[in-house]
Amino acid sequence: MAVLAIVGSSLMAGCGGDNPTTLRVMAASSLTGAFAEVEAAFELAVPDVDVVMITSSSSSLAAQIVDGADVDVFASADEEQFERAADARTFDPPRVFATNSLVIIVPPGNPRDVRTVDDLARDDVLVATASEDVPIRRYTDRLLAMAGVTANFVTFEANVSGIVTKVATGAADAGIVYVSDLVGADVEGVDVPSQLDVVARYPIAAATNSSRAELARRFVDFTMSADGRAILVANGFTAP
């Protein structure tokens, strides 16, 4: 029994260090790549801080915050999910730190020759999208409404990476995701005409009543600094 207890606690203890402050950042999954770099840069610039990055669909993160999850910074892929979180927890006024455009993705080689938004309505084109509360779905619906197109949806994935997987493996013939998702994915992009461009706005804010609020605000400021913006742009976002 004693042996079990010792082994168990040492496995859970993790590495020591000088007791750095843990900063819990929740970020939309489309920010995964970009924020990994932001995390690294921030930890380099600010001593004694350990950023814990939690990425998931913004709707999932908002649900967790509503449920009482401990968070210091929330970066959402749309303002709606941010407001949902802000209803449950006090945040500083949010600031839009990045915007993202939408793009149609197709499998390598574009097997169904998808060139315009209208092609998404074809019977022979299987379109993947996300389920209702995921921000990308809202943006997609808005775009399709503007174009007057009813897309041939065959699946409602739980998050953006689900859409990318279905298209990259050729199971689906097309999908609509953020421009930033093109980076490193095994898919081809088909541009959306500028008059139909729906801009995704990403708000970020620090949680107000946290013991780490100061540090959280520094993180938010860092994201909006020149260094932060450079990282975002390199990852496919537009930083206003």
Residues found near other proteins in the complex (CB under 8 A): 57, 59-60, 62-63, 67, 107, 126, 128, 131-133, 153-158, 162, 165-166, 169-172
3-state helix, strand, coil in the chain (%, to 5): 40, 25, 35
For other proteins, which is the closer residue by CB, 76 or 210? 76
| Minimum CB–partner distance for residue 73 and other proteins (Å) | 20
CA distance 179 to 97: 16
18's tokens: 């000088």
Phi and psi angles of residue 234, each rounded to the nearest 5 degrees, phi first: -60, -25
For other proteins, which is the closer residue by CB, 60 or 223? 60
CA distance 203 to 126: 32
Phi and psi angles of residue 64, each rounded to the nearest 5 degrees, phi first: -65, -40
| Minimum CB–partner distance for residue 152 and other proteins (Å) | 11
For other proteins, which is the closer residue by CB, 121 or 196? 121
| Minimum CB–partner distance for residue 63 and other proteins (Å) | 5
| Minimum CB–partner distance for residue 124 and other proteins (Å) | 11
| Minimum CB–partner distance for residue 171 and other proteins (Å) | 4
Sequence-ordered list of residues with C-beta below 8 angstroms from that of 73, at least 6 positions apart, any chain: 23, 24, 25, 26, 204, 205, 206, 207, 216, 219, 220
For other proteins, which is the closer residue by CB, 69 or 158? 158
